[in-house]
Amino acid sequence: DSGVTQTPKHLITATGQRVTLRCSPRSGDLSVYWYQQSLDQGLQFLIQYYNGEERAKGNILERFSAQQFPDLHSELNLSSLELGDSALYFCASSGGGSTEAFFGQGTRLTVV
Amino acid sequence: AQKITQTQPGMFVQEKEAVTLDCTYDTSDPSYGLFWYKQPSSGEMIFLIYQGSYDQQNATEGRYSLNFQKARKSANLVISASQLGDSAMYFCAMSRAGGTSYGKLTFGQGTILTVHP
């Protein structure tokens, strides 16, 4: 168990809808990272938050947004969903001077 | 920009034998970290091993070792005494070094390892 919790584990929704993925980082970790894993794009970094503030942005679509709350949990919001957004979405956290990031179990999103 | 290349889409190994998974990288960052993660069929990403670009010695973690050749820009993973439970997808990744940069990872395409009994 990595200590990073993601909910829900599975999500099936229709095109055009909006969903929210939730992540609770390991205790004490201030950084949260979101990744998307799809068959055609592989594993891609989306966005990073550090202690409530956006720190780095990767290949995140404008239809996607994220935030980190005062209790350090983070949410990734995906809107106007398309079939191509179907993927495994990972949250990872790091902190305390450690070099490695620890990943949650992922949320498998299926858009139908 | 950083780039990771894993040229072996699939590898097979006999149980109890050693196997090397290849990884080459490219970066303009003077200081960086190299990582290997394992993804079993259940989907989770499991951290295996880390190597800093300025570390003099190759990293080892139990049965995993990282063969780091800086001049060749390679960071191969060696798994000794393979076990059936090692069957999984393996990803090589890199990041800038320092502070909160370590979790901002660039991943390779992965290598599927199958361990035969």
3-state secondary structure B37-52: EEECCCCCCEEEEEEE
What's the confidence (pLDDT) of residue A98?
80
Model pLDDT for residues B57-94, shown as the tens digit of each residue? 999 999 999 999 999 999 999 999 999 999 999 999 99
- The answer to whether B45 contacts chain A (CB < 8 Å) is yes
- The answer to whether B13 contacts chain A (CB < 8 Å) is no
Cβ atoms A104, A23 nearer than 8 A: yes
Model pLDDT for residues B14-67, shown as the tens digit of each residue? 999 999 999 999 999 999 999 999 999 999 999 999 999 999 899 999 999 999
Low-confidence ranges of chain A (pLDDT < 70): none
* b/e burial code for range B3-31 (CB count within 10 A of at least 16 → b): ebebeeeebebeeeeebebbbbbebeeee
Cβ atoms A32, A25 nearer than 8 A: yes
Q: Is the CB of B104 less than 8 angstroms away from the CB of A33? A: yes
Taking the C-alpha atoms of residue B33 and residue A100, their distance in angstroms, rounded to an integer, is 9
Taking the C-alpha atoms of residue A79 and residue B60, their distance in angstroms, rounded to an integer, is 43
Chain A residues in contact with B3 by the CB 8 A cut-off are none
Chain A residues in contact with B46 by the CB 8 A cut-off are 2, 103
What's the confidence (pLDDT) of residue A2?
86
